[in-house]
Amino acid sequence: MQLIFKIAWRNILRHKGKSLIIGLILFLGSLLMTVGNGVISGMDHGLEQNVVNGFLGDVVIISEKQKTDNILLDFTGTLIEPITNYPQIKKLLQAERFVSRFLPAGKNMSLALSDDYNATPGFAYLLGVDFAEYQAMFPDSLKALEGRLFKPGERGILVPKKARDEFYNFTNRWLIPEGCSLVEANLSKDAKENLKTIIKADNIVLLGMNENNSSTDLRFGIKGVIAYRTLNTIFGHFSITDIESYRECLGYFSSSAHAIQVAKEDQKLLDLDTTNLDSLFGTESLMVSNPQAKPTPAPAAIAAAKAPADVDIEAGVYNMIFVKLKKGTSYNYAVSQLNKIFTANQAKVRAVTWKKASGFIGSMTTIIKGSLLAFVSLLFLVAIIIIVNTLTMAALERTPELGMMRAIGAQKQFVRLMFLSETAILSLVFGGAGFLLGAIIVNLIPMLNITSANDMVQLLYGGDIFHPLLKWTDIVVTLLELSLVTLIAAIYPIRVAGGIKPLDAIARD
C-alpha cells in the first residue's frame, strides 16, 4: 500500500496541470459547503435562541379550534381562537416535570383609530400579558427607548418604535409616552419632513377585532416606546398591553367577578327574545329615569380604571400559552406528551413547536438548507463531470506507462488502487484545505460584528448580528460529501485504467 501511495504522489507531481484542476474544484466545493453549513447552522441556532428566549418559548399551546398553527406572523387578519379554561391547563402544566415555565397571553389584531375622521385607520397587533410574568418568562427581551416599562398592576400600552412609525403613516399622529416630550432624533424620515406641523399624542384608541363583532374602542395611555433586543424589525409589530385592557378591547372578560356591570335597564334589553320581534315592543318601560344615577364611564375611563384586587385574572380568556422546557427536553417528545395529556383531560387545546407557531420563520432554515443542498449538489455534479473527464484523459494519456506496468506483472487491482489513491490524495489535500479555510472564515465572521436592520437579512443572520456556527454534524456532513464526490468521480477512470492491457502499450507506440 505504501508503494501505491508513493507512485500516486509521483504521478500527481508529474501531471501538475490536471491535478491542479481537480484540486481547485475539490477545494471550492469543500469551502462553499463548509461556509454554507456554518451559515445555516448559525441561522438555525440564532432563530431558536432569539424566538424561544425572546418571544414564544419552546412550545406554544393554542385552542384545538385554531385552524392554523402559525399564530405569530399571520398578518392576514385571521383571528386566533380563545382559550377559556386556563386554570385547568395550568394544573396540567404544573404537573409535568419537563416544563420549566409558562405564560398565558392574548394576541390578536385591532384597528388603530385617529381623532381625525379623514385619516385612514391603521392596524395594531396586540399582545396582552401580565407584564411581571412576561418579564420573568422573557427577561431582558425589550428595553424602553422613551418613557418607561409598566409598573406592577398598571394599565396602558407599550408601543414598539416600528409600530409607532406605522401608526404615524396611517393617522398622522406621532405617539409619545405620557409626560414625555418629543425626541426629534427618534422621528421617522416622514415625520422629520413634517416636523413643524407634527401632531403629538400620548394615547392611542384601538378597536379590537373578534368573530362576534363585540369589541370595544378603548383609549390606551402610552407608558413607553420600546424596542425588542433581538429581531426587533419582526417582533416590533407587536404592542404590549396589560391583559385586562386587552380583553376589554377584544370584547373578552377576565372572570364573572370582573365582567362589565350591565345596568338593570340594559339587562332587560339583553334578556329579550331577539327571535320574536313582538317582544321588542312590550308595554313595560325599558328606560327608567334616575336623576341621581351617575353617568356610565366612557371607554377611556374604563381603560384607565384599576382592576379590582380580588379579581382572578387567570379565570379570563387567553389566546395562547407560551411554554419553556427544561434543558435537554426534545421538542417532539414534549409536544407529543402534552397533546396526550390534553386529549385525556379534554382540555380542548393542542401544543405545537415554536417553529410551527412562528410560521415561515420556523421553516426558513429548512428552505435555505434545501436550497444550499441543491446548489452544492449541482456544484458537485459539475465537479464530478470535470474530475471524471480529467482523470479519464490522464488514464488514456498514460496508456504506455500503464501497459508497461501490466507487462512487468502489475495486476488490474494494483492499477485501480493507484488511480483511487491519486484521487484520494487530491481530495484530502485540496478538499481538506477548503474545509479548514471555511472553518476559519466561519469562526472569524462573528468577530466582525456584522449587523443589519433589514427584516429579511436578520432572518438570514438568525438575529441582529451575523453569527455563523459550525457544528460537529456540519463537519461530518461536509467530510462525507467530499468522500462521496471523490469515490463517484474515480469509478469510471479506475475502470478505464484497469482495462488497459500490455498490448495497448505496444499498439499506442
Quick one: what percent of the chain has pLDDT higher than 70?
80
Of 73 and 378, more confident: 378
pLDDT averaged over the chain?
80
pLDDT at 119: 62
pLDDT bucket at 215, cuts 50 / 70 / 90: low
pLDDT at 269: 45
Which pLDDT tens digit goes with each residue over 263-309?
A: 444 444 444 444 454 444 444 433 344 444 444 443 443 444 444 44
Q: Is residue 131 predicted with pLDDT exceeding 80?
A: yes
Task: Give the span between the Cα atoms of 228 and 464, in whole angstroms.
Answer: 11
Task: Give the span between the Cα atoms of 313 and 263, in whole angstroms.
Answer: 23
pLDDT at 259: 42
In the structure grid, which three cell numbers stand for residue 371, read together? 436550497
pLDDT at 374: 79
Task: Give the span between the Cα atoms of 168 and 26, in whole angstroms.
Answer: 54
pLDDT at 303: 41
Most confident of 43-57, 64-78, 193-207, 323-337: 323-337
In angstroms, what CA-CA distances link 196 with 204, 304, 413?
A: 21, 31, 87
pLDDT at 464: 72
On the 0-12 / 13-18 / 19+ scale of CB atoms within 10 A, 287 is exposed
Nearest to 319 by CA among 133, 95, 65, 142: 65
pLDDT at 382: 82
Antiparallel, parallel or unpaired: β 99-113 and 203-208: antiparallel
Q: Is residue 190 predicted with pLDDT exceeding 50?
A: yes
Of 373 and 442, more confident: 442
Are 462 and 6 in contact by the 8 Å Cβ rule? The answer is no
Kindly state the average pLDDT of the residues 73-97. 87
Cα dihedral 131, 133, 137, 138 in deg (nearest 10)? 20
pLDDT at 214: 56
Of 54 and 100, more confident: 100
Which pLDDT tens digit goes with each residue over 346-357?
A: 999 999 999 899
Kindly state the average pLDDT of the residues 448-472. 77
pLDDT at 79: 83
